[in-house]
Chains A and B, each alone.
Chain A
Amino acid sequence: MKGRPILGTLAVLGYVIMIVPILFVVSTAFTAGDALTFPPQGVSLRWFGEALAYQPFVGALLSSLQLAVVSTALALLLGVPVTLAIQRGKIPGKSLVEGLFLSPLVVPELVVGLALYQQIMIGLHQTSFVALLVGHTVLLLPYAVRVTGASLALADPAVEEAARGLGASPLRTFFSVTLPLLRPGIFSAGLLSFVTSFNNVPLSLLLQSRQFRTLPVTMLDYVQQSYDPMIAAMSTLILAGTVVIAIVAEKTLGFAKIFGGINK
């Protein structure tokens, strides 16, 4: 940053906007007072206790985790074969197919959410969980296809051909050659998918029901009714969980690698 005063100032301003609001949430979570004010009054952990004892938050957290795990698994199960077909198979209209699988990134999530609400929940009388599972999986498919695709595109298909040439069956080739090549991509896609599903608001908001409601939606609801430090405490707990995921990501593959696949 030395000798670049303008660039340096802009960069600092950028970091301030990205990070400082998060610090404010954390600091108010530790307040001993009753109001979400700054500076916080005294230090205590009481709001963490209240957040973890608040049944709607706990129930919603479990719902969110359940939805995130199942939709991530489904997206990988559907998406990885598609990646294989696109990268290794000879299919007509390859770029069109790839474009179709990436299109959920472009279409506004509220549009997808409202569409599934009308077709699946009203039209087919399915539960909120079914609609959410379809919606979240659709949203995660681009990661499953693009991020795993990026790791496969780097690998030389000749390795797989060599295995086949040396007498390995197609199944054996897949499990002992292709799958290890795919593993970092699958890991990155799984991580991004889990986080994306867990944090999603537009779909989860439109497709919620009294029986099934995710944590971000429950928190949005809560803050409209009562504005107290419990919401900051819950946010801080989510932050802590996210930091753990981030450290795992950084230690295993590295951030740059995981996120590099998104916008290539």
Chain B
Amino acid sequence: MSRKPALLLIPGLVFILFGFAIPSAIMLLAPPSTDTADVFLRFGAMLTDPYDLAIIWRTVRIGLIVTAACVVLGFPIAYLLARSTSRFAGMWLALAIFPLLLSNVVRTFGWLVILGSQGAFGQLLVVLGITDQPPQLLYTELAIVLGLIQLFLPLAVISCYSAVAQVDAGLDHAARGLGATKSQTLWQIVIPLSRPGILIAGTLVFAGATTAYTTPYLLGGSSQRMLSTQLFSYASVSVDWAAASATALIMTMLVFLVSGLSSLISRKAGVTS
């Protein structure tokens, strides 16, 4: 086998080059019947146009909020489960991972039922006498943020869980035995040692949240455009290849920037520790 690795590699390599790498590069830089110069002109224009900048900023802002929320909610779940001695811990972990297998469309529909004009939350507010009219919750940034947290929290839980599980629980006991409080143990032992996993969690969530399509489409509508919904509209509604490529470039660069930054940080941390 080791004598002919090329033979094993070539079919897959051909497929990924011609089915992915080359078409993506062509789409980003030289879409059909469009000058590459046009793509970069549109790219430049988008970075100065207030409407486009608002979409870029909304995408980044939502990405950051969702990332922070997923780490803040996901780490405690991972930590409590990793340190739990309950025989139900495995079941709770499975419950946190399960949504990853479930269709995004199905998961996002739930928010339509909760936040819609006839939805549960609005009616609850009316019944409680807090408002007379159910408030407009759908097609807001809040709706997108909630939908994306639901979507990506399981990913954050998995990454944090495998990181915390690698930190020897004996270290916790040692710290506690030496007089550290529970929160000191958490902040000074567990969190620093599981930082690589937390970083991976954050990167995965940010990349997912800034490129997700279903959630901003269903919960944000046309009033809360993100880069993904904007890209789709350029590609299939206005069929403006130059603008679609420019939007795709911005989205791709954003994701690459963040994952590059994250691997730089983890490499630096690896050198110093």
Is there a chain B Cβ closer than 8 Å to A154's Cβ? Answer: no
Shortest B149–chain A CB gap in Å is 6
The A interface is mostly helix, strand or loop, or mixed, namely helix
Cβ of A166 under 8 Å from chain B: no
B128 at the interface (CB under 8 A from A): no
Q: A220-B218, A256-B93, A260-B162 are in contact. Are A114 and B27 (CB under 8 A)?
A: yes
A-B contact pairs, 30 of them (CB 8 A): A8-B80, A14-B96, A15-B96, A17-B146, A17-B153, A21-B113, A22-B102, A22-B106, A24-B113, A25-B113, A38-B118, A38-B123, A85-B6, A86-B9, A89-B1, A90-B5, A104-B20, A112-B20, A114-B27, A115-B24, A118-B26, A118-B32, A118-B241, A135-B19, A137-B15, A138-B16, A219-B105, A235-B106, A238-B102, A238-B103
Work out how many contacts link A and B, with CB atoms closer than 8 A.
274
Chain B 1-33 against A: per-residue CB contact (8 Å), 1 yes, 0 no? 110111011011101100111011011100110
Whether A89 lies near B232 (C-beta < 8 A) is no
Given contacts A108-B251, A112-B23, A220-B105, 13 further A-B contacts (CB under 8 A): A17-B153, A82-B12, A85-B5, A104-B20, A111-B27, A114-B235, A120-B23, A170-B1, A205-B213, A235-B106, A242-B103, A245-B101, A263-B158
Question: Is A52 part of the contact surface with B, judged by Cβ < 8 Å?
Answer: no
Q: Which residue of chain A has the shortest Cβ distance to B120 in the bound complex? A: A38
| A112 lies within 8 A of B24 (CB) | yes
Question: Which residues 104-120 of B have a CB within 8 angstroms of A?
Answer: 104-114, 116, 118-120
Q: Contact check: which of B5, B76, B162, B251 meets A263 at CB < 8 Å?
A: B162
Q: Which B residues lie at the A interface, using CB under 8 A?
A: 1-2, 4-6, 8-9, 11-13, 15-16, 19-21, 23-24, 26-28, 31-32, 72-74, 76-77, 79-80, 93-114, 116, 118-120, 123, 146, 149-150, 153-154, 157-159, 162, 182, 186, 200, 204, 207, 211, 213-214, 217-218, 228, 231-232, 235-236, 241, 244, 248, 251-252, 255-256, 259
Residues of B contacting A: mostly: helix
Q: Name the residue on B nearest A264 (C-beta).
A: B162
Once bound together, how far apart are the Cα atoms of A15 and B97, in whole Å? 11
**Contact: A88 with B1, CB < 8 Å?**
yes
Is the Cβ of A25 less than 8 Å from the Cβ of B20?
no
* Residue among A7, A79, A245 making CB contact with B12, cutoff 8 Å: A79
Return the chain B residue nearest A191 by Cβ: B101
Answer whether A201 and B118 are a contact pair too, CB < 8 Å, given A25-B110, A259-B97, A263-B162.
Answer: no
